[in-house]
Amino acid sequence: MTTTAAPATVRRPGPLIHLGAIAQLAALGVAGSIAFTVLFTLLSVGLGTALVFGIGLVLLVGFVYALWAAAWIEYERVEGLYHYGLPALRLRRRERPGFGGWLRSLWRQFTDGPMWRGVASVAIATVLGLIVLPTISWLFTSIGLLFAPLRGGDLVRLPTTGLTVEPGWAVGIGLLSIVVCLALLLGIALLHGVLTRAILVPSREAILAEQAFTAAEQARTAGAQREGAVRASEVERTRIERDLHDGVQPRLVSVGMTLGLAQQKIDTDPVAAKALIDEAHTSTKAAITELRQLARGIHASVLDDRGLDAALSALAARSPIPVSLDVRIDGRCSATAEAAVYFAIAESLTNAAKHSRGSEARVTVRRRDGVDGASGSLWARVEDNGIGGAHVQPGGGLDGIMNRILAAGGTPRLDSPIGGPTALEVSVPCAS
């Protein structure tokens, strides 16, 4: 993942920075050549063996990550040298779980613009380094010519050309060569600073464009969250009204009618009145149970008291079908995130028992760490071995799950082919 921030005020490079740039370019002339040789080898061998042995795919994956490593080193090198205020280069974060999510993140990393700008910068620095190395060698040779009269002799052989001159001329040629070498090295250092700034430091227009894009994305996300919250509340209200109307309300009406009959018979037929009171007592206990279950569907108190792990254990114990529970989370997330994941799992298990004809279910919950100090996300997967074919219907339980997750800023994904299995994955930011 990459982040863009407005670059800090760039200070004018001083002599020490120019000297450091020359030293780094000299090192890159060697190290960069080796690095690009390795990169081209990975690319060529990977492409050549991808369809033959399949091992080439592994090499191509290594090629992508090697590109990112080279770009990351270049960003750190340039920032340490010039202090441009460059944002740190980050790996693209996986947005979806599983192998498919990893492939998507790998492709997004391969097409990452900041990474390729870093690669371009290190390539140019390597070429400049290949010019710096012979220039430095020429500089030291020129310095050696200044001491030609001390070595004695009538003539001095000039390096490379094979020409011979008098010692006095050798000193003059040495001085001229030193000036040319120093000027060339200074020019390369200045050119390197200009090129790295042009390649790696985002322009003001690019920063404003990305900020506008980010603001638009945030507005769309906020709109989706608001819409999901409204829709989830409507679905929840409809469910509560339906449960009250179809379950608790008729039972309480029946209790009232039964007690009325018992009141009429209590003087003339005490035995029948006692039987009616027993019947009303039984119906009252059933109504209390239904109210308790309805309240649990609105708010799980154990979730607040003991956390998501304990709440899911209680949920699995009450499930009509066996549930394999695998929860590995450290610490607590926000109440909104935990509640969204809890009710998504609860509704999925209810659907598995009522509609999918599954004989067992498996629940997996993980907490995934974030980057740059972010709180990370809460990820869960519910899978049953039923007949599949589940789809989202307006006002249905899955509709409520989707909207509750969206309202919490998360992402749901349903996979339920005909014949099964049905799998629901949800990911919710811990700080939602």
Residue 70 predicted with pLDDT over 90? yes
Q: What is the DSSP letter of 247?
A: I
pLDDT of residue 1: 41
Q: What is the pLDDT of residue 5?
A: 45
**How far, in Å, are 152, 248, 277, 291, 402 from residue 345 at the CA level?**
92, 24, 40, 21, 12
**Residue 425: what are its φ and ψ, rounded to 5°?**
-120, 135
pLDDT digits (tens, 9 = 90+) for 185-211: 999 999 999 999 889 887 565 556 556
Q: What is the helix (H) or strand (E) element at residue 374, kind and residue range? A: none
d(CA 40, CA 108): 21
Cα separation, 359 vs 415, whole angstroms? 18
Mean pLDDT of the chain: 78
Beta bridge partners of 382: 363, 424
User: Where are the strands (E) in 18-67, listed by range?
Assistant: none
Question: Which alpha helices (DSSP H) does 157-269 contain, by range?
Answer: 167-200, 204-243, 249-265
- Is the pLDDT at 56 greater than 60, yes or no? yes
* pLDDT recorded at residue 416: 84
Q: Check residue 26 and give its pLDDT.
A: 92
Residue 151 has pLDDT above 80, yes or no: no
Q: Name residues whose C-beta falls within 8 Å of residue 400's C-beta, 6 or more positions apart in sequence.
A: 232, 235, 236, 239, 343, 347
Weakest mean pLDDT among 63-67, 197-201, 296-300, 361-365:
296-300
Contact, 122 vs 33, CB < 8 A? no
Per the rule left: phi > 0, alpha: psi between -120 and 50, beta: everything else, 252 is: alpha
- The pLDDT value given to residue 244: 59
**Residue with more model confidence, 42 or 358:** 42
- Residue 153's Cβ-count burial label (10 Å; 0-12, 13-18, 19+) is exposed
pLDDT at residue 339, rounded to an integer: 83
Q: Are 130 and 124 in contact (CB under 8 A)?
A: no
d(CA 337, CA 378): 7
First to last CA, the chain: 20
Pairing outcome for strands 323-328 and 361-368: parallel
Question: Taking 80 as the threshold, does the pLDDT of residue 418 lie above it?
Answer: yes
Longest dimension (CA), the chain: 148
> pLDDT tens digits, residue range 82-99?
888 888 888 877 666 567
Predicted pLDDT at 297? 52
Whether residue 425 contacts residue 381, with contact meaning beta carbons closer than 8 Å, is answered with yes
How far is Cα 360 from Cα 384, in angstroms, rounded to an integer?
6
Name which residue leads in pLDDT, 230 or 265.
Answer: 265
User: Among 5-19, 35-49, 299-313, where is mean pLDDT lowest?
Assistant: 5-19
Residue 3: pLDDT above 50?
no
- At 278, the pLDDT band (50, 70, 90 cuts) reads confident
Structure confidence at residue 356 (pLDDT):
79
Residue 369 has pLDDT above 80, yes or no: no
The percent of residues in the chain predicted with pLDDT above 70, rounded, is 73
According to the model, what pLDDT value does residue 243 have?
Answer: 57
Which band of pLDDT confidence, cut at 50, 70 and 90, is reported for residue 9?
very low
Q: Which pLDDT value is given to residue 6?
A: 43
Distance CA 338, CA 429 (A): 10
pLDDT in tens, 117-140: 999 999 999 999 999 999 998 888
Res 66: pLDDT: 93
pLDDT for residue 373: 45
Alpha-carbon gap, residue 66 to 39, rounded angstroms = 7
The predicted model gives 50-63 an average pLDDT of: 81
Output the pLDDT for position 65. Answer: 92
Chain segment 215-229, per-residue pLDDT in tens: 666 566 566 656 655
Highest mean pLDDT out of 16-20, 227-231, 237-241: 16-20
Mean pLDDT of 309-334: 84
Taking 60 as the threshold, does the pLDDT of residue 212 lie above it?
A: yes
